[in-house]
Amino acid sequence: MKLKLSSPQDCVADFTYNFFWQHRGTKLNPTDTIPSQCGTSYSYEDVVEALKNGEDVHIKGDVGKRLGSSLGVALVYFGGSGRELPEVGSIIVDGNAGSYLGMSMLSGAIYVKGEVEEPVGNVIQVKSDLDGYKKFVSITWLLHHIEEIERGYILEPNEFKEDELLLKDGILRSTLAARCRRAAKVHVKGDVGISAGILMRKGLVLVDGNAGMNAAALLSGGKVVILGDAAEFLGVEMRKGLVFVKGNCKGFVGAKITGGRIICRRTKPVPPVKEKALEKEDLALLAEFGLSGMITLNYGRYEV
């Protein structure tokens, strides 16, 4: 599939159609024609279906925000399994790309000839097999298939070392490790954007810096550890797993959670979440990250 855009458009190849289940077509209808096309009249749905069928999508011109959002996900809302689509096509852009490229992306690849605006989504730049293009793949896909990755595929300064993916490039990423189903570790030497660890089932996300809103949203297993501060709605709609924040948390901790536990500085959680006494395993976790003695009195355990 080929299309040319005369101006940047948001949500191209967005498998969620900008979270269709929330706005029900008021923001974007899948059957709407993507504006600013030159000589074609593809709809948002046409592009997504082409990619699902393994077809590459070539875009000439700049694209806007949320390119390839949830690329490669068989979304449950649309009758899928929630898992990775193995044969999804690639997106190839002869131009620049706006922010939030590859939000919650799971498989496939995005190639961009120009620049990519930060923050990005759940992506990492890797060695490209197309001359003149930057190649981005899903971090979750990388964690799921790390044994298949050849030496030099992950570009410096990032590296896979001692069974963990080290992200050291300073790029701000949102939805980091979204939908991870493997007991893998991602260590971020810096900050993360929104929704770090969203929908994880297994694994560990360790953030040396701060986290944006909705960290560990919909967490269904695994562990998210934030050594800096966390913005609002930590653990929103969490189901299983563990979240630990060493620094400060803003409001609405634990909103709508149904399971799992949150360890953080003592706060007022959103009911029905309640503060409970720290247990032995919680104290061991605090000690692992340099907190012991009287300092632990500043921390609480929050769960339903």
When pLDDT is cut at 50, 70 and 90, the band that residue 162 belongs to is confident
In whole angstroms, what is the distance from residue 53 CA to residue 181 CA? 24
136 and 113 fall within a common domain: yes
Dump pLDDT digits (tens) for 88-127: 999 999 999 999 999 999 999 999 999 999 999 999 999 9
Residues 232 and 272 in one domain: yes
Q: Summarize the confidence of residues 24-44 as an average pLDDT.
A: 96
Whether residues 207 and 102 fall in one domain: no
What is the count of structural domains for the chain? Answer: 2
User: 70 and 186 share a domain?
Assistant: no
Question: Range of 135's domain?
Answer: 1-155
Same domain, 259 and 163: yes
Please tell me whether residues 191 and 271 are part of one structural domain. Answer: yes
Q: Say yes or no: 211 and 125 in one domain.
A: no
Q: For residue 263, count other CB atoms closer than 10 A to its CB.
A: 23
Alpha carbons within 13 angstroms on the beta-carbon side of residue 11 total 18
* pLDDT above 90 for 221: yes
pTM of this prediction?
Answer: 0.96
**Cα distance between residue 222 and residue 143, in whole Å:** 14
Judged on CB neighbours under 10 Å (0-12, 13-18, 19+), 155 is: middle
> Are residues 227 and 239 located together in one domain of the fold?
yes
Confidence of residue 227 (pLDDT cuts 50, 70, 90): very high
CA nearest neighbour of 64 among 103, 19, 116: 116
Distance CA 128, CA 194 (A): 27
Model confidence at 148, pLDDT cuts 50, 70, 90, reads confident
Domain C-terminal end among 138, 155, 172: 155
